[in-house]
Structure 1
Amino acid sequence: DFSLFCSFGTSCLKQGNFGDIIWFLQSFAHTLQKNFPHFQPEFSLNFLIFFLAGGLPFLRKFKHKEIEAATNGFSAILEAGPGGRAAYRARFADGLVATVRRAGGDGDQDREAFYRELQLLARLNHRHIVRLHGYSDGHSRFLVFDQMENRSLKECLHDPLRTPLNWRTRLQVAIDVAAALEYLYYFCDPPVFHVSVNSSNVMMDANFVAKVRFTVTIVHTCLKHIDRPTEAYEIQQRRRDLVFQYGVLILELVTGQSPGGEGELVQWVQEPGFACTMYKMVDADLGNIYDSKELRNLVIIARLCTRPGNDAMVSIPLILRYLQGKVANLGCESENICELSV
């Protein structure tokens, strides 16, 4: 009986009987893989720890009825996401205001994906990552995140009914997103790769501080221990994709043009004479209220990030230090773009 099996495991952990614990871990992993063939061995152990610990103690576990009441019967829809992953505005009885996101379907494979996502999100702790408050894992599964009062960067840039973002805010968004990406790629072990860096996935809080939200894939092999060339290639390719997408985001911040035209924007910034038209490309909503040197810096970054076929692409940490004024250049002294007049 599965419940008796788990009760025995819990008893082993409490009594510190390590021989029995090892046997139990191995048997439990085998049982999970037998019943759920798509389970991976390393995740079986994580799932076991999650299960025996009664969840994640540093996350709040919500009851379904709490979620339903807080979202007014799931009527306060913020957005209709793919695969049934709708998001709702929620106000809980204790005063917590949050965003509740439905976590996919209800099958066994969806359950595995939910616990993977939950464990990953729970270990992220950064000022520029949308924070996970808690979860509900009943028949329907939900994730509860910080409420982002100013919604997405996309809405801030392209909604004609909203006050346009000023230059200082746009520059700070570029810095905030770079800080989040540096954390995900260089400080998480294993590194976490943002699937899509775009203005829809950059959220703005009440003070217009940018925070990244995302769906993710995990690279299980740490960068220090890569043995297979295919794994190294995959990581390098993901890194290039991330940097390219960040460059496109910079172009959107500067020009105010929607992502639908990103091909034309990339083509423009890669042209030899792009500097001659740089000021004409600035978002008209900004008028002339921007810093020319900071504009130059952002355009240089966008050009380097979106340069085709460049394996030695500029890194996110270097970009961040450059925007923060901690380094004087991006290592491209020989490039004419670094000699742009302002």
Structure 2
Amino acid sequence: MLHRNRKQGERAFRIEVDLLSRLHSPYLVELLGYCADQHHRLLIYEFMPNGTLQQHLHHKQHQPLNWGSRLRIALDCARALEFLHEHAIPAVIHRDLKCSNILLDQNFHAKVADLGLAKMGSDRINGQISTRVLGTTGYLAPEYASTGKLTTKSDVYSYGVVLLQLLTGRTPVDTKRPHGEHVLVSWALPRLTDREKVSEMVDPTLKGQYSKKDLIQVAAIAAMCVQPEADYRPLMTDVVQSLVPLVKNLTSVSTSSSSRFQNQTASSPKC
């Protein structure tokens, strides 16, 4: 059900139905149907049994994500935004990417949901849209929050915040943390390019089970995505191209480990 105020909720409902009826990608949640009956509005999506990324990062009752799952989720989300920015006609700016809008299927593959605040632009990359500021505190690009100027690079910033959450396990804003650590981006940005400090930022639930080399690369991507100046942020296509080798390496390492185990088993003496 939609929980926004009636006017905004009606608009969000229509946008969601329109976009998800036209745009089909394995990285966007599938809309199966909808109901519009008098004042009642209902959207029916495919079932995503592992809930949201928000739950797995920040709710203790949910299974923590390992490093491989985090990398795959990062790539899935990047591909979703790449599809919206590069392949949708006209280009679509999500405008509200956040961990609670990233859903996980039975294999922990991610799909982006909630296009109700999305905006369509005439220019794929550089076109600016002046709009009322909507979205979620902590994920808003600074130029959008201060001027209402919205571009695809606004989504890139939000994606960078999600990437920081995957790295650190922290929320975008947490006033319970010590002074200087309340805002995730402000705290993380000066540390992301310091090889020693970046290791100290890692989510403790990973228990050190990650590739230091991959960590440094992902931290560098996150640092570029959350740059204060929009022009210095990468395109989502560039982010995808940077993450693909890291995820492929996960697969090759897993296959190699499995092969070694099978060979060891085969060569073991039979009882």
TM-score, L = length of structure 2? 0.72
Mapping of 1:125-164 within 5 angstroms? 125-139=24-38, 140-164=40-64
Aligned mate of 2:107, from 200, 207, 210:
207
- 1:194 is aligned to 94
Distance 2:2 2:165 in 1: 23
Does the CA-based 8 Å contact 1:194-1:242 persist in structure 2? yes
Distance 1:125 1:288, change over 3 A: same
The whole-number CA distance in structure 2 between the counterparts of 1:210 and 1:225 is 27
Alignment root-mean-square deviation, CA: 2.9
Match of 2:173 in 1: 260
Identify which of 87, 98, 120 aligns with 1:219.
Answer: 120
Which residue number corresponds to residue 75 of structure 2?
175
Tell me the percent identity. Answer: 31
Q: In the alignment, which of 149, 153, 172 is matched to residue 240 of structure 1?
A: 153
Kindly provide the CA deviation profile for residues 123-170 of structure 1, in whole angstroms up to 9, marking residues without a partner as x: 121111110001122222321101111111010111112221110000
Q: Does 1:284 align with 2:204?
A: yes
CA distance in 2, matches of 1:225, 1:258: 30
Q: What is aligned with 2:265?
A: none
Distance 1:143 1:277, change over 3 A: same
For 1:145, give the aligned amino acid: Y
What is the SS of the residue equivalent to 2:77? Answer: helix
Checking the alignment, whether the CA contact within 8 Å between 1:192 and 1:216 is kept in structure 2 is: no
Structure 1 spans left out of the alignment, 5+ residues: 1-79, 85-104, 327-342
Q: TM-score, normalised by structure 1?
A: 0.58
Instruction: Please say if 1:82 is aligned against 2:12.
Output: no
Equivalence for 2:237: 317
Larger relative CO (CA 8 A, sep 6+): 1 or 2? 2
Q: Which residue in 1 is equivalent to 2:226? A: 306
* 1:269 matched residue in structure 2: 188
Amino acid at match of 2:165: E
Report the CA distance between 1:111 and its aligned residue. Answer: 5.7
- Cα gap change, 1:224 to 1:192, in 2 (>3 Å): closer
- In 2 relative to 1, CA 136–208 (structure 1 residues): closer, same or farther, beyond 3 Å? same
Q: What's the CA shift for 1:302?
A: 0.9
Runs of at least 4 residues off by over 6 Å = 233-236
Query: Is this contact kept in 1: 2:153–2:235, CA < 8 A?
Result: no
Contact 1:269–1:302 (CA<8 Å) still a contact in 2? no
Larger radius of gyration: 1
Q: Please state how far the C-alpha of 1:222 moved relative to its aligned partner.
A: 4.4
* Alpha-carbon distance between aligned partners in 2 of 1:152 and 1:224, rounded to the nearest angstrom: 29
Preserved CA contact (<8 Å) 1:268 1:274: no
* Closer/same/farther in 2, CA of residues 313 and 138 from structure 1, 3 Å limit: same
Q: Which residue identity lines up with residue 158 of structure 1 in the other structure?
A: H
Offset at residue 220 of structure 1 (A): 4.8
Query: CA offset at residue 238 of structure 1?
Result: 2.3
114 and 198 in structure 1: CA distance in 2 versus 1, 3 angstrom threshold: closer
Aligned residue identity for 1:189? I
Contact 2:49 2:104 survives alignment (8 Å): yes
Counterparts of 2:125 and 2:232, CA distance in 1: 19
- CA change 1:111–1:268 in 2 (3 A) is closer
Counterpart residue number, 1:74: none
Q: Which runs of 5+ in 2 are unaligned?
A: 131-142, 175-180, 247-271
Q: Distance in 2 between matches of 1:248 and 1:224?
A: 20
Distance of 2:107 and 2:129 partners within structure 1: 43
